[in-house]
Amino acid sequence: MGDSILGQATKRATRQATDLFDKMFLVGTLFTLDKLLNGLAAASEEFKEELKEHYIAVQLKTRDNKVGRLVYFRNGECSGKDGIFDEEADVSMVFEDINCARRVMMGQMLGKEEVFVSAAKNGSLWLIGPDEQAMWFSSLLLKVFAFDVLYLHRYGTKMPNGEMRYVTGTNGGPVFVYVKDGKIIRVTPMDFEEGDATPWSITAHGMTFSPPKRTTATAYALGWKSLVYSPDRVLYPMKRIDWDPNGERHPENRGISDYERISWEEAFTIVANEIIRVRQTHGPGSVFWSRGSHHLWGNMGYFTSAANRFFNCIGASSVLNNPDSWEGFAWGATHHYGGAARRGGVEPYSTVEDCMQNSEMIVFWSSDPESTAGVYAAQEGTIRREWVKRLGIPVVHIDPYFNSTAAFMGGRWIAPRPATDAAMALAIAHVWLVEGTYNKDFVEKRTIGLDKWAAYILGDDEDQTPKTPEWQEPITGVPARVVRALAQTWGRKKTYLAAGGLPSFGSAGRTAYGTEWARAMVCLQAMQGFGLPGVNFGGLQYGTPLDSHFWFPGYAEGGFSGDYIGSGSGVQVYNRMPQSPSLNSETQQLPRLRLPEAIIEGHAEVNNMSNYSVVGQFGKVKYPAPGHSEVKMYYKYGGSYLGTQPNSSRFVKMYQVDKLETVVSQAIWMEGETRFADIILPACTNFERWDIGEFANCGGYIDKSYLQNNHRVIFAQHKCIEPLGESKSDFDIFQGVANKLGLWQAFSEGNSLYDWTRRHYSATRMNSIMSWRAFLKKGYYVVPPLPESRRDPVAMSWFAKGIKKDTPELPPLPSEYYGRYNEGLSTPSGKFEFEAQTLKRFDPNDKERMPICTYIPSWEGTASELYEKYKLQLISPHAKYSFHTMGDSKDSFINDINEHRKLIEGYHFWIFRINPADAEIRGLQQNDLIEVYNDRGSVICALDVTERIPKGMAHSFESCADYRPIGTPGKSAEMNGCINNLTPDRFITKNAHGLAVNSCLVEVRKWEGDFGKWKSC
Amino acid sequence: MEKLLMIVDLAKCVGCFNCLMACKDEHVDNRWLPYTDSQQKHGQKWIDPTRHERGKAPYTDLCFVTRMCQHCDEPHCQKAFPGAVDKRGDGIVLIDPNYAKGNRELVDSCPYGMISWNEELNTAQKCTMCAHLLDSAWTEPRCVQACPLRALSVIKADEETIEQIIEDQCLKPLTDGSNKPRVLYKNLERYTNNFIAGALTYMDGKIEMAAAGAGVRLTLNGTDLLETETDFFGEFKLDHLPDDSGTFQIFFTLDGYKPLETEVTIEKESVCLEPLQFVKK
């Protein structure tokens, strides 16, 4: 009883004290706002100019009208008076009560935005008034908290010579950016300081290896200055001259007609009006947005962040991407051993150390990490592959092209014809079965169904054909004795298999029935017992002994999107970074590989790729979706299909149909499909805006992808220079359109890109390591590796041992286990299934993807009819010197790399490679200009005659950035190297939405025609 | 005084072209006077890695040979134009931008072809070894700092130490060494020498097998040069054979089989033999 009275008295006293404090605080801070703003204006001319932008009065008050102050903004001067003057106010900021006001303001000051977000979500905080004015006032308040950074430019490191050293991230590694007088001077890889973390070391065969204290970079990282200052930058908003939103639209002239400069106000108005018109006229789904598979580096700017949030706000159809890098693994391998979250990819943990210590041979099969950098990992793996050279572990490379990894590492190069890899793999299994050189104990305990596969391989089934090394010789072109020798050695030695560059990518997986290659890869290693010491997947690219427990998000984790369905946000970011949720209420999707057909013909149907479950991929996605409209407006946000998508001149036809009433392109450079837009919104690069990121950390479908690095480097992405011309950050462009749609708070919560960057930082473990301001000054942090005793267990070793999974990986989802959770694989049997139960249940008679892995001849290969006309088998793997289209063309430095393009007659031509014997037959010589052609198109290239490719095959990288038809777009030869004008658009296998561009027949002849209008790239 | 030595290791060059990118990044649109004026964006390369292939598929071998100003101790360019070229105490050779203007003949004076003409500025230019950086706080030129494996590296040491390094690492000049270049190459054999590659087989019933572990002996004019064994593919590669080194005899042995021999003449190219088959004794 006494306690209760005392308790009540105490509570009352506390409440009174709190109220008093809140009131004083409010009077002391918010209500002296005018004085504070005047003070800041005195310190910064730039800020003073911003204060002049609006001539308004703002009422700050509590909802009960008990406390209030009116603040006047008059020509850059602020003044105020206490009290409630609603009739005078243009904008009102209303707090539920004084306590709420105090908590929100304190929260903002201390970087605890959850208070603000909660108040807004719970209806305890309102901003009332015309959008533009309300937004202006709100952003002004936020700028107060960032004044030292935004207006006094207190970030980065000042160098002795007066240059500022900033940091940013690229797809080819983080870089230091030296700036003087607002201009980028240089871009370099990062050398760490003495106080930065000491790197890990690995001891193997009596030698100790440790990586140098620096980051590596690629050409497409170091060429960035030339991309920022490219003459092809779009510097102003533009409108196609013969496109009139109120009159004739002339879709047939997309890609042909010129542009006129318009203002941002016009651009935002047109785009917003079109979004409303199209959606009100045609209904849901009528606005469609697409993106590339990559973006400029940074968690805030990546498409998973700002773009997801923006298009979720307006409601739009989205693109259904095929898993292009994983293709064979996603549609094939995953059925044997689960792992849908990694799209059939392998676990990476501690495999670098295991490989160096225990393996006796490494087979790189369709694996060229020296070119692909795994993904995003610059040349970190190069350091480790040099160690392997020193360790003397024998290496074999299987690839039609003598790739850069083979050239650097040495070892035997085996060059099967494209799309025949599965035949070679079957022959290897044949040798093992006949000679008994596989791990019978592992097969018995950890796998099922080898008998079914063995029957096919040995010829004991209806096929009656033993898949011997001799059987594969006429198929692959590789001598039987070479395959037999490889099989016998592999059967004897503990072998690491790098299937693909990451691994689990690989151009062999992008061939006709490339599923069978990827399936063969995992089946072979299952026969040898993957997860046992020295037997696993990897080529020193992925699985370094870094700290995988220090959480910092990758871009796939959604940035500030709040999209816990359309990104990886739901796993960690959403619950650590308070924000309002954002979801797309429109479910319509357009399959990327059938995008032209969907838009032109009005329908498409493909298999879905699920990240959640293996069997999810059997489901279909239909366009149009029920109750949705066909697409009428296309808002293109990055990505260059003309350079990257199969049979890509289809896209020209798509752009020119009148069904597409409006095409918007948000683009940095005038290249490729930018020229097919009606409205061009010029975006700036990430050197010109704020962001934050980690080296090679994408998260999501490549969980802990930073384990490709020698160091975990988390970095600020400083705004190094002002945006060029009138270009704006993607964020600000979206904000501009959102404002016109009344979505300003829905899109950004009124926060700027800088604000979100800081909020993102606060949500991560970095917040407990160093202050935001200290982080902004230094620009990066190197996460120390854990001591040797705390390194992660080796990937899949838990499976080999038959214990519970002990690698630090959350997926697969619990429901993906059919037996006990976390015991065994996410296959129906929990074991490795040589005969995949999921495929058997789906369709046991799908000849294009049987429950067991088989060899299926390509529809476009030496045995096909087309071969009569086109005698060269072309592969076009991921480019080495550009990151897909990023870095190519645009007058960049990269064009001067004579392995990327060749300078002939004043133009940098794309390179096409054939063997000297093939050149001789055709009367062609080194550096000839040639026309590469087939029924799908014609591309002019520079010829490289080289022993890097055997006779009968040809190599050219994919992903030329600009599309330059010498005549009518889509109907004439292309001269900038869009090799994908030639590649087939048929799916990898019929029940998959996957591409097979590396099954492509072409012919070449000397080019002697003219070129038309183009200047050099 | 300490001098600089640039080392180019062909075995560590992965052909990433970071050196070229870093050079362009540092010098295009940046004027580092009095060291040098800005580099032309395209068409001018102060550092130039070029691909060199040896052999035929599937025995292809390739490396990159990176050329830049050799910073010769007896620069031919300086002999030709004494007023225009400065040989610094640390070994760096610089062209005076004032003298280089309009002087196209400077381009022809370099026996390595590494002085190039800037059309836009009408001047002769070349690698400065980023002297403007080395004279401030930098320890390496940009090309080296960007090189992932330090296939390019610089050493700053007294002449005696440098001589020792040259001997220990078997560093060689790109050509004949006249003009005494201060850029030296490691593993230059990948560029200058040739190899002989081939495969040995035997029949096991109807199956052709790789003759792993077979003996391979290379001789020239009756003198044994090298003895080795085939790898598990039954293949061999006999490297480090200079141009025009003569006609070699190669002897092959495998237990239980009749020995084989063949003759190969090395001129200017590597030779890849057709497979040779052992026959039972």
pLDDT tens digits along A704-755: 999 999 999 999 999 999 999 999 999 999 999 999 999 999 999 989 999 9
- The pLDDT score that the predictor gives to residue A111 is 74
If you measure CA to CA, which chain A residue comes closest to B42? Answer: A896
In whole angstroms, what is the distance from residue A171 CA to residue A812 CA? Answer: 27
Type of residue found at A568: G
The residue from A151, A401, A555, A655 that is catalytic is A555
Cα A541 to Cα A351: distance, rounded to the nearest angstrom: 9
Q: Where are the domains of chain A?
A: 18-150, 238-321+587-708+726-753, 327-545+792-842, 865-1006
Residue B20 φ then ψ, to 5°: -65, -40
Q: Which of A868, A1006, A863 is nearest to A935 (CA)?
A: A868
Is there a catalytic annotation at residue A555? yes
Which 152-211 residues of chain B touch chain A by CB within 8 A?
A: 199, 201, 207-210
Going by C-alpha positions, the residue among B190, B112, B186, B193 that lies closest to residue B151 is B186
- Specify the residue for token string 């025009």: B244
Burial tier of A21 (Cβ tally within 10 Å: 0-12, 13-18, 19+)? middle
| pLDDT, tens digit (0-9, with 9 covering 90-100), for A130-145 | 988 999 998 998 898 8
pLDDT of residue A208: 98
**Of A196, A324, A368, A792, which one is the catalytic site residue?**
A324
**Binning pLDDT at 50, 70 and 90, where does residue A976 land?**
very high
Tokens encoding A544: 């370094």
Q: What is the torsional sign of CA A765, A768, A771, A775?
A: negative
- pLDDT higher at A1014 or A363: A363
Q: How far apart are CA A757 and CA A762, in angstroms?
A: 9
Architecture of domain A238-321+587-708+726-753: 3-Layer(aba) Sandwich (3.40)
Residue B1: predicted pLDDT: 84
Among the partner-chain residues A402, A408, A893, the one whose CB lies closest to the CB of B21 is A893
Residue A928 among the catalytic residues:
no
Secondary-structure percent of chain A, ordered helix, strand, coil, rounded to 5: 35, 20, 45
- Quick one: three-class SS letters along A899-943? CCEEEECCEEEEEEEECHHHHHHCCCCCCCEEEEEECCEEEEEEE
A865-1006: what fold? Barwin-like endoglucanases (2.40.40)
Beta-carbon contacts of A305 under 8 Å, excluding residues fewer than 6 positions away, are: A299, A555, A558, A559, A560, A561, A567
CB contact burial A480-495 (16+ within 10 A = b; e otherwise):
bbbbbbbbbbbbebbb
Cβ distance of B149 and A223 shorter than 8 Å = no
Residue A479: closest CA among chain B residues belongs to which residue?
B208
Same fold, A238-321+587-708+726-753 and A327-545+792-842: no
Model confidence band, residue A334 (pLDDT cutoffs 50, 70, 90): very high
CB contact under 8 A, B15 and A407: yes
ipTM at complex level: 0.97
Which residue from A691, A752, A670 is spatially nearest to A303, judged by alpha carbons? A691
* Of A178, A294, A884, A944, catalytic: A294
Contact A897 B17 (CB under 8 A): yes
Q: What's residue A1's pLDDT?
A: 44
Query: Using CA atoms, how far apart are residues A572 and A563, in angstroms rounded to an integer?
Result: 12
A347 secondary structure, DSSP code: P
Q: Is A516 helix (H, G, I), strand (E, B) or coil?
A: helix
What is the band of A2 on the pLDDT scale with cuts at 50, 70, 90?
very low
The answer to whether residues A226 and A940 touch, using CB atoms and an 8 Å cutoff, is no
Chain A residues whose beta carbon lies within 8 Å of the beta carbon of residue B149: 382-383, 386
**DSSP H stretches of helix in chain B:** 18-27, 76-80, 97-100, 105-108, 131-134, 142-145, 159-168, 189-192
Whether B53 has its CB under 8 Å from any CB of chain A: the answer is yes
Q: Which CATH number fits domain A327-545+792-842: 3.40.50.970, 3.40.50.880, 3.20.20.70, 3.40.228.10?
A: 3.40.228.10
Topology of domain B3-187, CATH: Alpha-Beta Plaits (3.30.70)
Closest-CA residue of A relative to B46 is A896
Q: What is the pLDDT of residue A104?
A: 85
C-alpha gyration radius of chain A = 30
Query: Can you tell me the distance from the alpha carbon of A518 to that of A498, in angstroms, rounded to the nearest whole number?
Result: 11
Q: What is the predicted pLDDT for the residue at A1015? A: 73
Coil, helix or strand for A816? helix
Partner residue opposite B209 with nearest CB, options A185, A414, A484: A484
Q: Contacts by A56-59 with C-beta closer than 8 Å and gap 24+?
A: A56/A90, A56/A91, A56/A133, A56/A137, A57/A85, A57/A88, A57/A89, A57/A90, A57/A91, A58/A89, A58/A90, A58/A91, A58/A92, A58/A93, A58/A137, A59/A84, A59/A85, A59/A86, A59/A88, A59/A89, A59/A91, A59/A92, A59/A93
pLDDT tens-digit profile of A72-117?
999 999 999 999 999 999 999 999 988 888 888 888 777 777 788 8
- Annotated catalytic, A324? yes
Question: CATH 3.30.70.20 occupies which residues in chain B?
Answer: 3-187
- H or E segment and range at residue A736: helix A730-740
Please give, rounded to a whole number of angstroms, the shortest distance from the CA of B182 to a CA of chain A. Answer: 25
Euclidean distance between CA atoms A605 and A598, whole angstroms: 9
Q: Is the peptide bond before A624 cis (omega within 30 degrees of 0)?
A: yes
Which ranges in chain B are annotated with CATH 2.60.40.10?
193-278
Looking at the domain that runs over B193-278, which CATH code has it been given? 2.60.40.10
Partner residue opposite B21 with nearest CB, options A161, A219, A488? A219
Q: What is the pLDDT of residue A26?
A: 65
On whether any CB of chain B is under 8 Å from the CB of A252, the answer is: no
The confidence band for A4, taking pLDDT boundaries of 50, 70 and 90, is low
Q: What value does the mean pLDDT take over residues A812-819?
A: 94
Banded pLDDT at A638 (limits 50, 70, 90):
confident
With an 8 Å Cβ cutoff, are A188 and B149 in contact? Answer: no
Per-residue pLDDT of chain B in tens (281 residues, 90 and over written 9): 899 999 999 999 999 999 999 999 999 999 999 999 999 999 899 999 999 999 999 999 999 999 999 999 999 999 999 999 999 999 999 999 999 999 999 999 999 999 999 999 999 999 999 999 999 989 999 999 999 999 999 999 999 999 999 999 999 999 999 999 999 999 999 999 999 999 999 999 999 999 999 999 999 999 999 999 999 999 999 999 999 999 999 999 999 999 999 999 999 999 999 999 999 99
Interchain contact, B232 vs A407, CB within 8 Å: no
Question: Tens digit of pLDDT for each residue in A936-972?
Answer: 999 999 999 999 999 999 999 998 999 999 999 999 9
Interface of B with A in 16-35 (CB under 8 A): 16-18, 20-22, 24-26, 28-30
The CATH fold assigned to A18-150 is: Nonspecific Lipid-transfer Protein; Chain A (3.30.1050)
Q: Report yes or no: A945 at the B interface, CB cutoff 8 Å.
A: no
Mean pLDDT of chain A: 95
* Chain A positions in Cβ-Cβ contact with residue B136 (cut-off 8 Å): 160-161
Average pLDDT over residues A773-779: 97
How many Cβ pairs closer than 8 A exist between chain A and B? 156
Residue A347: is its pLDDT beyond 70? yes
- Work out the number of other CB atoms within 10 angstroms of the CB of residue B244: 10
